[in-house]
Structure 1
Amino acid sequence: MLFTSKRSSVKTALKFKVYNFFKKIIKIKYRETYSQLGEDIAICHLLEKYLKLNKGFYIDVGCNHPIQYSNTFLLYRKGWSGITIDLNKELISLHKLERKGDIQINTAIADKNESVKVYEFSEDGVNTINKDFYDEIKNHANLISDSRTIDTLTLNEIIEEHKVSKIDLLCIDVEGHDFKVLQSINLKKYRPKLIVVEMLDNFDFKNLSESEIFSYLKENNYKLVGYLIANGYFIDETLNY
Structure 2
Amino acid sequence: MSMVSYAQNFEDIMLWRALKHIKHGFYIDVGAQDPLIDSVSKVFYEQGWRGVHVEPTQQYADKLRKARPGETIMQVAVSNQPGSIVLYEFADTGLSTANRDIALRHKTTGFVCTEAEVQLITLDEVFNQVVTDEVHWLKIDVEGLEKSVLESWTADDIRPWILVIESTKPNTQEESYQEWEFLVLQKGYQFAYFDGLNRFYISNEHLELGNFFKIAPNIFDGFALSGYASHPFTRHLNHQIVELNASLQQAEHTHRAQLDAMRASTSWRITRPIRLLKRFFERLNSAKVEWRVGAEIRHRLINFICYLSKVVLDNRVLRYGFIRILAKHPKLKSKIRNRLFALTKRNDLIGLDLKHQSVNQFYSVKAAKIFSDLKKATAKRGAE
TM-score w.r.t. length of structure 1: 0.77
SS at structure 2 position matched to 1:126 = coil
Residues of 1 paired with 2:7 and 2:155: CA distance? 26
Task: Give the drift of 1:132.
Answer: 3.0
* Higher relative contact order (Cα pairs below 8 Å, separated by 6+ residues): 1
State which of 164, 167, 188 in structure 2 corresponds to 1:221: 188
CA RMSD of aligned residues (A): 2.1
Question: Does the Cα contact within 8 Å between 2:107 and 2:113 map onto a contact in 1?
Answer: no
* Structure 2 residue identity aligned to 1:65: D
The answer (yes or no) to whether the contact 1:122–1:141 under 8 Å persists in 2 is no
Post-superposition CA distance 1:83-127 (Å, at most 9, x none): 011011121122111111211111111112122111111343100
The alignment partner of 2:53 has SS state of strand
Instruction: Tell me whether 1:230 sits opposite 2:202 in the alignment.
Output: no
Matched residue SS, 2:4? coil
2:9 corresponds in structure 1 to 37
More strand, by proportion = 1
Higher helix share: 2
Q: Which has the larger radius of gyration?
A: 2
Establish whether residue 97 from structure 1 lines up as the match of residue 66 from structure 2.
yes
Unaligned runs of 5+ in 2: 209-384
Question: Is residue 173 of structure 1 aligned with residue 145 of structure 2?
Answer: no
Instruction: Provide the aligned length of Structure 1 versus Structure 2.
Output: 204
CA distance 1:230–1:158, shift in 2 (3 Å): same
In structure 1, C-alpha distance between the alignment counterparts of 2:37 and 2:57, rounded to whole Å: 15
| CA offset digits 1:187-215 (Å, max 9, x no partner) | 533211111010126538xxxxx713322
Output the CA distance in 1 between the equivalents of 2:72 and 2:202. 24
Alignment equivalent of 1:191, drawn from 159, 163, 169: 159
**Percent identity, aligned pairs only?**
25
Instruction: Give, in whole Å, the separation in 2 of the partners of 1:227 and 1:100.
Output: 32
Is 2:124 aligned against 1:152?
no
Q: 1:45 Cα deviation (Å)? A: 1.5
Q: Distance in 2 between matches of 1:183 and 1:30?
A: 38
- Tell me which stretches of 4 or more aligned residues in structure 1 moved more than 4 Å: 161-164
User: Distance between the aligned counterparts of 2:207 and 2:130, measured in 1?
Assistant: 27
Report the TM-score, using the length of structure 2 for normalisation.
0.49
Deviations 1:155-212 (A, max 9, x none): 21132255553311101111111221122222533211111010126538xxxxx713
The offset of 1:79, in angstroms, is 1.0
Question: Unpaired segments of 5 or more residues in structure 1?
Answer: 1-28, 205-209
Give the 5 Å matches for 1:1-241: 30-48=2-20, 52-146=21-115, 148-161=116-129, 163=131, 165-186=133-154, 188-200=156-168, 202-203=174-175, 211-239=178-206, 241=208
